[in-house]
Amino acid sequence: MKAVIVEKPGDDNVLKLADVPDSVPKSDELLIRVRAAGLNRADIMQRQGFYPPPPGASEILGLECAGDVIAVGSGVTGWKVGDRAMALIPGGGYAEKAVAHFGSAMKIPAALSYEEGAGVPEVFLTVYLNIFMLAGLKKSEAALIHGGGSGIGTASIMLLKEYGSRSIVTAGSDEKCEQCLKLGADVAINYKSASFPDAVKTATSGRGADVILDSIGGAYLAPNIQALAQNGRLVMIGLMNGTRGELDLAAVLRRHLRIYGSTLRGRPAAEKAEIVSAFLKQFSAALEAGRLRPPIYRSLPASEAREAHRIMQASEHFGKIVLTF
């Protein structure tokens, strides 16, 4: 089968479309003929050599894919050949065929294309896990999401709107802020021209955000703590600005704050199946109705994987970038 491979760790020039051995499903896995694969920021880190796949996972990039089921393992239930699947996978999405644990796969709603389906699993399940399952956001609360124009940010905006709680996002340009508002964010802050803790306080009548989903890390730790409300929860999911920051422990005590950290990729299949099942229980009607539909910024053929990575690394995109096979 054809797959996009990383010749050696480096910049986008190390990506190459090549022939590799076919993926083979285990008894609890589906074999998917991939039509589209979603890009994620983690793919850039893996390409650069900083984010190796978990043990047993494919070395090929790609944490999510959408396509047609072409084989099912003997222990799989609820799936048959011919089903349209969108799957969360620990690797292997940038290929004509990919394997997925059946508990990590979801049926693609009729309202969604393969490209849109490929943009759902990684970001929607990450947001669901962190904002809903870990931080336990209530409808009456407000959440602050950094990187509102990212895959994670756009999924957050749509899920929060569907759920009915307030979303405040940050983004790096007025244009991206406008797009976030159009997608359904209640407040959008251009972090390059405004101090986000001040803007969050203004937007919440001085209260602060009840939950912050932070994928930036580093120097954002101190202002995040400043921006949290009493009983606020900070959920760390990414470290684009670095691994170290300064923490005001007095504020943590005084305001009864909680800090979580989590990753999705390395979790056991059984945990991922629980996340998928809880997500579908709450949001499958909205998915079916097409209200949860990732904005696709660009869909490029797999032969243009270098360009796709360049766009993502330059943060030109709003929403998701996908590769087609």
* Residue ranges in contact with ligand NAP by CB under 6 A: 40-42, 122-123, 126, 147, 149-152, 171-172, 176, 215-216, 237-238, 240-241, 262-264, 312, 315
Phi (first) and psi of residue 95, to 5 degrees: -155, 160
User: CA-CA distance, 107 to 320, in Å (whole number)?
Assistant: 19
- Shortest Cβ distance from residue 113 to ligand NAP (Å)? 19
Nearer residue to ligand NAP within complex by CB, 42 or 76: 42
Beta strands 29-38 and 97-101 are antiparallel
Paired tokens of 59: 């070395």
The beta-carbon contacts of 306-309 under 8 Å, at least 24 apart in sequence, are: 306/12, 306/13, 306/15, 307/12, 308/39, 309/12, 309/15, 309/39, 309/43, 309/44, 309/47
Nearer residue to ligand NAP within complex by CB, 84 or 101: 101
Nearer residue to ligand NAP within complex by CB, 22 or 174: 174
- Shortest Cβ distance from residue 172 to ligand NAP (Å)? 3
Q: How far is CA 111 from the centre of its chain?
A: 20
Nearer residue to ligand NAP within complex by CB, 126 or 165: 126
Helix (H) or strand (E) holding 160: helix 151-163
User: CA-CA distance, 10 to 45, in Å (whole number)?
Assistant: 9
- Shortest Cβ distance from residue 239 to ligand NAP (Å)? 7
- Shortest Cβ distance from residue 256 to ligand NAP (Å)? 24
- Shortest Cβ distance from residue 139 to ligand NAP (Å)? 24
Nearer residue to ligand NAP within complex by CB, 150 or 204: 150
Contact criterion met (CB below 8 Å) for 289 and 264 = no
3-state helix, strand, coil in the chain (%, to 5): 35, 25, 40
Nearer residue to ligand NAP within complex by CB, 23 or 126: 126
**Minimal CB distance residue for ligand NAP:** 238
- Shortest Cβ distance from residue 245 to ligand NAP (Å)? 13
Nearer residue to ligand NAP within complex by CB, 89 or 216: 216
- Shortest Cβ distance from residue 72 to ligand NAP (Å)? 27
